[in-house]
Amino acid sequence: MAQAELIVDLDALVANWRALSDRSAGEAGAVVKADAYGLGLAPVATALARAGARRFFVAEAEEGAALRAALGAGPEIFVFNGHMAGDADTIRAADLVPLLNSPEQVARHLEAAPEAPCGVQLDSGMNRLGLEPADWAEVRPRLPAPRLVMSHLACADDADHPMNARQLAAFRAMTEGVDAPRSLAATGGVLMDPGFHFDLTRPGIGVYGGLPFAEARPVVTLRLPVIQTREVAPGESVGYGMTWIAERDARIATVAGGYGDGLHRIMGPHLAFHAGETPCPVRGRISMDLIGVEVTHLDAPPETLELLGAHQGVDDLAAHAGTIGYEILTALGQGRYARRYTGG
């Protein structure tokens, strides 16, 4: 294998979506923004549509247009960022539903694309996107019947956090009497009390195998080819900065991959690859294109080493980098990998 290979198990991805759909009190949509969290918008969304997803969420209108090209007519496509300046033609052509976030967006939509459907995003306390209560009260009489009224939970990865109850109460108060489907829960919210679910849930990271959906099936396998194996004597170092020095004879495999492929440099001191069932620790710093891995304890030099798979998931990598699985997946999506899809 000349190139690192990123394998996406579409059957596992669909199984995760179905499991979250089964837990939802209402309908389950699917969040496919950022190129389906880096795993490929068209193949991922197509697999989810075949599984029964009919409502999809993207961040911006350009993503929505690409999704419409992949899915064709029928499914609803909601745009979290709403109606930005210059979006009107794309919204009409791709039959998108912008989730309006401010009085300015409401005015823009009613002026530039009054015939196009829209939804509304409300700020229930996260202070990121959405209409404030006073703004919502002012624009609500001027809006046509929205396709969806939604908000977003700030602390859903911690089911016991008091912010969840505060936001639930705020969302209920702001949407009392609304004649439209309502949505508050993404993956974390789906795993909480059904009172958070309303008419539509928005599974995202759990579909792709990440926390807080601990029962998710692994979706991503990442294998890197070994370019060269060399013997390192005691006292010799590996990689930039001499951060690792051999204390005994060691065999080091240099693999093709690095922070240019979303494998963050900070992971290095704690990271291990796998050769079958056997962990193989990283030695020295992760560089842009290359990583040193100790394989002294293997019977023979490997041709490839596995970084993601059954033994190590995206949240394991995230822990080594001091971040979250979302960032790992989207960073991998920018890497120089040969993508392969199975199942679906």
- Catalytic machinery residues: 33, 240
User: Which SS3 state, helix, strand or coil, does residue 144 take?
Assistant: coil
To 5 degrees, how large is the angle CA 242–CA 249–CA 263?
Answer: 45
Hey, what are 271's tokens?
A: 């990271």
Alpha carbon of 338 to those of 6, 137, 248, 312, 341: distances in Å?
Answer: 6, 50, 36, 20, 10
If you count them, how many residues does the chain have?
Answer: 344
User: Which SS3 state, helix, strand or coil, does residue 172 take?
Assistant: helix
- Find the helix packing angle between 10-23 and 41-51, rounded to 10°: 50
Nearest to residue 282, comparing CAs of 297, 272, 267? Answer: 272
User: Which SS3 state, helix, strand or coil, does residue 197 take?
Assistant: coil
Alpha carbon of 30 to those of 21, 109, 261: distances in Å?
Answer: 10, 24, 26
CB atoms within 10 A of CB 81: 19
Hey, what are 249's tokens?
A: 């004879």
Q: Are 122 and 130 in contact (CB under 8 A)?
A: yes
What's the distance, Cα to Cα, between the start and end of the chain in Å?
A: 24
Rounded Cα distance between 102 and 194, Å, is: 29
CB atoms within 10 A of CB 93: 11
